[in-house]
Amino acid sequence: MENLQIKHRVNKVLRKFLGVLFIISGLVWLIAHIREMKFFDWFYTIVYTGIGVVQFTSAFAFDLSEIIIENDFIRIRWLNWFKPRIVYYSEIDKLTLTMFDIQISRKGKKTLKLPLDFMEISQMREVREFFLKLSAEKGISHENKYHKAN
């Protein structure tokens, strides 16, 4: 079985533009009210500049979700995750496929949820088919709560 890689179509130009717009808004507010700064002025400046920095830096983030199959485990790196998660086949209790996420129930650990709601329909279908093949190949029980034939 091959690894799964999904390239997401995030709009980086829009994120960069919004980031710069929020940073400029925060700095202009600071300059306009520098002589008489009240709590709201400080709050507005810090919040808008912070939002701008977050939007701008997220435009350079990792825009790929991937699942790498190894002998004893799978390594999952999902969009907006800070670091990849390693899930051993022996600790997987059940895979649950729902409309908007994949849930990996693990023995003695918290259930791992892979959200699909930000993906396109063809990408969702590809992820679901991947996990169905994985469960058949590795003998993992699965529950398909997504009853659509497509």
Q: What is the pLDDT of residues 21-41, one digit of tens each?
A: 999 999 999 999 989 989 999
- Model confidence, pTM: 0.69
Give domain 63-144's CATH number out of 2.40.50, 1.10.150, 3.30.1360, 2.30.29. Answer: 2.30.29
Q: What is the mean pLDDT of the chain?
A: 88
Q: Greater confidence, 82 or 105? A: 105
- What would the mean pLDDT of 48-67 be, rounded to a whole number? 86
Position 73 scores a pLDDT of 92
Q: Where are the beta strands (DSSP E) in the chain?
A: 4-7, 64-69, 73-77, 85-88, 92-97, 101-106, 112-115, 142-144
Three-class SS of residue 73? strand
Kindly tell me if the per-residue pLDDT of 49 is higher than 90: yes
Helix H or strand E encompassing 147: none
Q: Could you tell me the residue ranges of all domains in the chain?
A: 10-58, 63-144
Please tell me the predicted confidence (pLDDT) of residue 20.
95
**Residue 147 has what pLDDT?**
63
Asked if the model's pLDDT at residue 63 lies above 50, the reply is yes
